[in-house]
């Protein structure tokens, strides 16, 4: 006994449903599925620079100075001051 397997064609409704569940677009879902079926691997992510690295030392210093009892508002003010002192654009 032989079983015939019919090729399954994915409709656009399936892409849209999966996209709604994943919180992305149907185009992204389609692209990911097609890449996986073709045997392609996920592209490597690039390491990005963070804008807070410039003032991270200042925040660490303030946290140590307060024995870890610094509030978010005070830490935010320290970051703002650090950016201003360094002449760096914020964000």
How confident is the model over 55-86, as pLDDT tens digits?
Answer: 788 778 888 888 888 888 877 887 777 766 66
Q: Is residue 74 part of a domain?
A: yes
User: 59 phi and psi, to 5 degrees?
Assistant: -65, -45
Q: What residue numbers bound the domain in which 64 lies? A: 56-86
Q: Is residue 13 part of a domain?
A: yes
Work out how many domains the chain is built from and give that number: 2
Q: Taking the CB of residue 79, how many other CB atoms lie within 10 A of it?
A: 19
The pLDDT value recorded for residue 5 is 43
Average pLDDT along the chain? 77
Q: Is residue 50 part of a domain?
A: no
Using a cut of 0.85, tell me whether the model's pTM lies above it. no
Task: Using pLDDT thresholds of 50, 70 and 90, give the confidence band for residue 8.
Answer: low
3-state secondary structure of 48: coil
Instruction: Look at 8-12, 40-44, 68-72, 77-81 and tell me which has the smallest mean pLDDT.
Output: 8-12
């Amino acid at each position: 006994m032989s079983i015939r397997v019919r090729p399954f064609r994915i409709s656009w409704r399936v892409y849209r449903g999966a996209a709604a569940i994943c919180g992305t677009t149907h185009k992204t879902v389609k692209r990911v599925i097609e890449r996986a079926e073709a045997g392609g691997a996920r592209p490597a992510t690039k390491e990005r620079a963070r804008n807070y690295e410039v003032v991270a030392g200042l925040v660490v210093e303030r946290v140590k100075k307060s024995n870890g009892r610094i509030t978010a508002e005070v830490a935010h003010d320290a970051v703002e001051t650090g950016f201003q002192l360094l002449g760096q654009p914020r964000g």
